[in-house]
């Protein structure tokens, strides 16, 4: 058996999204429960190498697309912040420079 996804420490929504992805792509998978006394790992498993390769590819693409969505979302959130931050940095630099000159001279 091949473990395609480790579920310990993963949010339940994330693991459900992976399960749904596998189900929609007709990949037969098995889920191991939480470990008993630390002897096993909770995860999603497949039985053959072909399914493993297909599932890993789907999961990797899922995370790549999710990362792009998050980056796009962050870009949209930060579009209006860039100029005020730059202006504030310039004003702060000028103020500190004047303060330093007055203290030294």
C-alpha 30/C-alpha 47 separation (Å) is 8
The label of the residue with tokens 């962050």 reads 74
The label of the residue with tokens 């999961």 reads 59
9-30 pLDDT, tens digit each: 778 888 888 899 999 999 999 9
pLDDT score at 47: 92
55-86 pLDDT, tens digit each: 999 988 888 877 656 555 555 555 555 666 67
pLDDT score at 54: 93
Of the segments 3-7, 40-44, 80-84, which one has the largest average pLDDT value? Answer: 3-7
pLDDT score at 35: 61
Residue 32: Cβ-neighbour burial (10 angstroms; 0-12, 13-18, 19+) = middle
pLDDT score at 89: 76
Task: Yes or no: say if 33 and 15 are a contact pair by the CB < 8 Å rule.
Answer: no
The residue ranges of every structural domain in the chain are: 2-104
pTM score, whole prediction:
0.60
């Amino acid at each position: 058996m091949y473990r395609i996804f480790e579920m310990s420490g993963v949010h339940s929504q994330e693991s459900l999204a992976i399960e749904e992805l596998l189900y929609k792509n007709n990949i037969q998978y098995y889920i191991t429960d939480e470990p008993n006394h630390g002897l096993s790992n909770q995860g999603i498993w497949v039985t053959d190498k072909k399914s493993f390769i297909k599932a890993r590819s789907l999961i990797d693409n899922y995370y790549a697309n999710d990362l792009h969505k998050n980056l796009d979302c962050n870009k949209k959130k930060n579009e209006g912040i860039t100029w005020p931050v730059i202006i504030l940095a310039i004003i702060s630099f000028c103020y500190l420079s004047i303060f330093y000159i007055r203290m030294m001279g």
